[in-house]
Amino acid sequence: MQVRDVMTTGCVTVPHSATLADCVTRMLMAGTGSVVIDDDGPLGIVTESDVLRAAHDIDEPLDDIPAHVAMSHPVERIEPTATVRKAAERMHDLGIKKLLVARGLEPVGMVTLTDLVWHFSDFQREAGRLALEGRAWERGE
């Protein structure tokens, strides 16, 4: 199974000049847990956790905190044709929960740890099907 099979298409962005309040508004409007800071290309990502951490640590109104202060960067990317296993391994190795899905430099979506969990039963079915095909091939069927 490939990342394109489980990713969310599109990418919610805010400009480099955005505040954390702008990020929260975009996340709520889009029903997503992150936004990409964009300035002629993805610069970083702000997640719900980043907003909470910054609000706690900086102790200022969200309208007064620039988004780029709280963003994680660089944005970690993965190709839509990569396997979901590769995505899970990258998230684990990097200690992150979200990957920007991009064809080359062009963002086409996001894949999250939640996406992987929601599709876990699909992965199991595919693995079972492949195992059966492998056994049939070994028997010459």
How far, in Å, CA of 34 to CA of 40, rounded?
Answer: 18
Closest CA to 98 of 26, 39, 41, 49: 49
Our CA angle for 81, 105, 67, nearest 5°, is 115
Residue 86: partners with Cβ closer than 8 Å, 6 or more residues away: 3, 78
Read off the tokens for 27.
């996340």
Backbone angles phi, psi at 40, to 5 degrees: 60, 40
Segment 56-77 mean pLDDT: 94
Q: Which residue has the tokens 């944005």?
A: 75
Segment 1-26 mean pLDDT: 94
pLDDT, tens only, 63-73: 999 999 999 99
Residue 57's pLDDT band (cuts 50, 70, 90): very high
Query: Quick check: 47 pLDDT over 80?
Result: yes
What residue type is 18 in one-letter code?
A: A
The predicted pLDDT at position 1 comes to 86
Q: How many CB atoms lie within 10 A of CB 115?
A: 20
Ordered structural domains, the chain, with CATH: 3-138 (3.10.580.10)
13-15/106-112 β-pairing: unpaired
pLDDT, tens only, 80-137: 999 999 999 999 999 999 999 999 888 999 999 999 888 777 666 665 665 666 666 6
Q: Where is pLDDT greater, at 128 or 47? A: 47
Segment 72-81 mean pLDDT: 94
